[in-house]
Structure formats: C-alpha cells, structure tokens
Amino acid sequence: MSSTTQTQRVAETKPARPPLRLGMTLLHLAVLGTIGWAIIGLLFGAIGLGAGLIIVLGLGLIVLLGVFYALFGIAWFEIERVASLYDIPAQRLTWRSHPQRGFVGYLKSLGRNIAHGRMWAALGNFLLACLLGSLMMAAIQAMVRLLISAFAPLTEAETVTTAFGIEIQASYAPWLILLALLCAGVVVGVLFLHRTLATAIIGATARESKLTEQVRTTTVQREGAMRAAEVERTRIERDLHDGVQPRLVSVGMTLGLAKQEIDNNPAHAKELVDEAHTSTKAAITELRQLTRGIYASVLDDRGLDAALSAVAGRSHIPVNLDVRLPHRCGRAAEAAVYFAIAEGLTNAAKHSRASEARVTVRMREDDSGRAYMWARVEDNGTGGAKVLPGGGLDGITNRTVAAGGTITVDSPAGGPTALEVSVPCAS
C-alpha cells in the first residue's frame, strides 16, 4: 500500500463576545499570575539540578532533556491558549523530526527544535503573561482593600489604613473610591495589553508559519507539476515512437510502392492506396486517443460527468458510475480527477484482473467551507498496485499534487484496490 498525503488543517472557532473574552482573559491571567510562577520556579530548579548533575554519569543531561520537553509542551500550550482565546488561526507547534534515523538523527532533530524560534517566542509570551497576571492580581487586591477602606466611616473608626499601608483620617476615606477606580482601570488596561502583546507575538509566528507552509505547499505543487510534465512527455514520446510513427512510416512506404505500380499495375496500386488509406485512418484514431490522454476536450464542453461516462463506456470491464456534482469545479481540478479515475479503471482492466469497478464522485467542503472534489475508484481485482517512478499511478499522483490535492492508494495483496483523490476547486 502506498499513499501520498498532505495535511494542513486550521481550526476555526466561533468568535466570543467582547465581555466574555475579557472575562476569559482575566481568568487566564489570574491563573498564570499564580500557578505560572510556580511552574517557572520548578523549571529553574530543574535546570539548576541538571547543571549540577552533569558530572554525575551524565544524569544532568537527562534532567535537562526533560526540561526542554517541558518547555516545548509549555510553548505548545501557550500557542493553543492564545489561539483559542483570541481566535487566531495559529498552526499548532509540532515536533520537527529529522529524516535520518538512529541516535544521530535524534540529535539533529533535537537541535532543530532547540533552534525553533516559534517555540521561544511562545515561551516569551508565557513569561509576559505571568508578569501581567501578577500585576493584575496586585491591582485587584489593592482595589478590594481600597473599596473596603472607603466604607470605614460606617464603623466609626477615626483612622483608616489604606491598601498601601498609609493611614488617613476616616473622613477622607470615601475618596479612596477614586483610587479603587484607578486600580480597576489598571486591571482593564492589563487585559487589553495582554491581548495586544499576545496577538502580536503569537499572531506574528502564526503568519510566519502560514507563509512557510504556503511556500512549502507551492514548492511541492511545482515539483509535482514538473514530474507530471516529465512523465507525460515520456508517455507521449513512447506512444508516438511505438505507435503512430511506425504506422506513418508504413503509410509513406505503401504510397511509394503505389506510385511505382500505378503505370504498370493499376489494380495493385489501387490496393496499396486502399491499404495506405486504412492505415491513415488508424493513425488518426491513435492520434485522437493520444490527445485525449493529454486533455479530454469533453471536459470543457460537457463537464466531468459526461467525460467519465465516456471513459466508463470504453472500459473493458463493467463500471458502476455514481457522479453527483452540483456545479463545475474548475478545469485543473476536473482534469486531475478525470485522469486519476481513467488511470484507475485502466489499471483495473489491465493489471488487477478485476471483473467490475465502481466510481464515486462527490463535492464536499472542508472545515473552512472551501469546496473540493472527492473521488473513489474501487475494483474487485487481485490488488498489489504500487506507485512506481514513471508509472501510471506516479503520473496521476504528480498531477493531483500539482493541483493542490491529495491521493491515497490502498491495494493490499489479494485485493481489493481502492484509489481516492481529493482536489480543491478553483477559488
């Protein structure tokens, strides 16, 4: 079984109302302003312990490695926290693996993650959130104490001790309400400051990650298009060299013989011309089939349903065709799905010794509401299909990737074979 997949999915949440979001921000900062410092203290303690145990059989390295994994987990949590709180479409922090296996590959993978700037940016945001949380908690405590002190005259006390340890006359205590309002303003300011800083830091890393992913996706699509073009060129050259070219050479030789015989033996010359005419029609048919393999014109004229009906009609095995498309999806997407299904049916008829096949095509939507075409080709053959360089499955894989889609081939030995493609529609 072979598969080519690309995964990239961004979770989108329903925006929260501003009052609810401020309340959630206050709760987040309250937790980070208390528990966050305990976590930071434990981490610094573990770093000190690891540094001290390095000389003891390298045990310190194990402790430091555990600290790094803990830092990576905190960074992952911070990105998820900010993304869910402020509806930022941030990509999740994932571990950067290295293709090389073994201990050396693990060390290289560890080095790549230690140099991961997005992780350190998230850790910096976590530290800022802890600082702002501590400031907010101090402002809330001062506000509560000031409000309590403002009603001190009701207790007939002569002096009042404020939140800052300053004693004032009880008659001036009601003015403390203004200071309490100032502390409330500090709390609100801290909430908005956290939102500004968090969205700037995590949002910037999200945009950078998105751009990086777009570049990677574009590179993969470009490479797929280049490989598909190379495979298609090789196929055209092979078909022309092995099929049409010898037939046209034979036509030329037959017409040459007819030219020599036209005066001496007109009857034989006529037979040769008829033979050349038959060969010419056969060559035209082969050229038509060849151009159909490059692009089926019926796709433009009548759409994917009609094009697949023609493919199913030419198939050497019965095909159960089930196509339900509410609208057209775009030329590139339709072409990719068309050739994937055509190649799947060709393989089913030539190689898998299948007696029947089923084709299903649907229009679907992803989480972001973007439409894409999904198609599945199944047969009851012997299975064992593999994606080989230069083969038919390799060609449709490259064509599908070039169109921004994914393809999966499930063909265990003994069958059955199932080929699935998903191609986004043109925007």
Summarised one tens digit per residue, pLDDT across range 72-96 is 999 999 888 988 888 877 777 888 7
127 occurs within a structural domain:
yes
**Is residue 86 located within the same domain as residue 218?**
yes
**Is residue 219 located within the same domain as residue 238?**
no
pLDDT of residue 240: 64
Over residues 10-17, the mean pLDDT reads 43
Over residues 246-262, the mean pLDDT reads 78
2 occurs within a structural domain:
no
What is the C-alpha to C-alpha distance for residues 281 and 271, in angstroms, rounded to an integer? 16
**Is residue 277 located within the same domain as residue 138?**
no
Higher pLDDT, 278 or 213: 278
Q: Read off the pTM.
A: 0.49
4 occurs within a structural domain:
no
45 occurs within a structural domain:
yes
pLDDT of residue 3: 36
* Beta-bridge partner residues of 375: 361, 421
The residues, ordered by sequence, that sit 6+ positions from 202 with a Cβ below 8 Å of its Cβ are 78, 79, 82, 83, 88, 90, 121, 122, 125
Lowest mean pLDDT among 45-49, 66-70, 261-265: 261-265
**Is residue 130 located within the same domain as residue 259?**
no
Higher pLDDT, 131 or 115: 131
288 occurs within a structural domain:
yes
Residue 154 pLDDT exceeds 80: no
pLDDT of residue 60: 81
Mean pLDDT for the chain overall: 77
- What are 290's two structure tokens? 């060849």
Q: How many domains, the chain?
A: 3
Contact between residue 352 and residue 381 where contact means Cβ atoms under 8 Å apart: yes
**Is residue 68 located within the same domain as residue 206?**
yes
Tell me the pLDDT band of 398, cut-offs 50, 70 and 90.
confident
Alpha carbon distances (Å) from 365 to 55, 144, 158, 362: 57, 52, 72, 10
**Is residue 99 located within the same domain as residue 153?**
yes
Over residues 353-357, the mean pLDDT reads 85
Residue among 286, 284, 262 at smallest CA distance from 272: 262
7 occurs within a structural domain:
no
Q: Which stretches of 302-365 are assigned E, i.e. beta strand?
A: 319-324, 357-365
248: helix, strand or coil: helix
Domain boundary among 260, 294, 328: 294
**Is residue 215 located within the same domain as residue 67?**
yes
Over residues 159-183, the mean pLDDT reads 68
Handedness of CA 296, 297, 301, 306 (dihedral sign): negative
Residue 259: give its domain's CATH number: 1.20.5
State which H helix or E strand residue 417 sits in.
strand 417-424
Pairing mode, if any, of strands 159-161 and 2-4?
unpaired
Over residues 300-326, the mean pLDDT reads 83
pLDDT of residue 5: 34
Over residues 406-425, the mean pLDDT reads 86
Domain boundary among 247, 264, 294: 294
pLDDT of residue 405: 83
What is the C-alpha to C-alpha distance for residues 124 and 197, in angstroms, rounded to an integer? 11
Interval 262-292: pLDDT, tens = 878 888 878 877 887 887 877 776 666 555 5
pLDDT of residue 4: 37
**Is residue 31 located within the same domain as residue 137?**
yes
pLDDT of residue 13: 39
Tell me the pLDDT band of 128, cut-offs 50, 70 and 90.
very high
State which H helix or E strand residue 423 sits in.
strand 417-424
Over residues 336-356, the mean pLDDT reads 83
Tell me the pLDDT band of 2, cut-offs 50, 70 and 90.
very low
**Is residue 181 located within the same domain as residue 102?**
yes
**Is residue 157 located within the same domain as residue 279?**
no
**Is residue 245 located within the same domain as residue 189?**
no
pLDDT of residue 7: 33
Lowest mean pLDDT among 4-8, 89-93, 174-178, 301-305: 4-8
3 occurs within a structural domain:
no
Tell me the pLDDT band of 135, cut-offs 50, 70 and 90.
very high
Tell me the pLDDT band of 205, cut-offs 50, 70 and 90.
low
Residue 351: give its domain's CATH number: 3.30.565.10
Tell me what percent of the residues of the chain surpass a pLDDT of 70: 74
Domain boundary among 294, 311, 343: 294
**Is residue 78 located within the same domain as residue 191?**
yes
Q: Which domain holds residue 318?
A: 298-424
What is the C-alpha to C-alpha distance for residues 166 and 160, in angstroms, rounded to an integer? 8
Residue among 346, 330, 413, 405 at smallest CA distance from 375: 405
Residue 197 pLDDT exceeds 50: yes
